[in-house]
Structure 1
């Protein structure tokens, strides 16, 4: 009887864990990408 509820809770817990990790990953990816781009610009000058 509690299988559906448990599955929903497990799914919500998984999303609750993955969403912050995904946002952090995107932020780090953009930061590194733009940081490298700026670094290359400064290095050329």
Structure 2
């Protein structure tokens, strides 16, 4: 989020939602699995 704000996008137009635990890409218990679940998805809306 801070990256986008630093590029000039208004913070009030951004919303952050975390899905790491609720919607994991990898349900494993390894560091590799956890790394896959530390991710960000962006949806741009007008």
Pairwise same-fold verdict (TM > 0.5): no
- What is the TM-score normalised by the length of structure 1? 0.28
Task: Decide which structure has greater helix share.
Answer: 1
- Structure with larger RCO (C-alpha < 8 A, sep 6+): 2
Larger radius of gyration: 1
- What is the TM-score normalised by the length of structure 2? 0.28
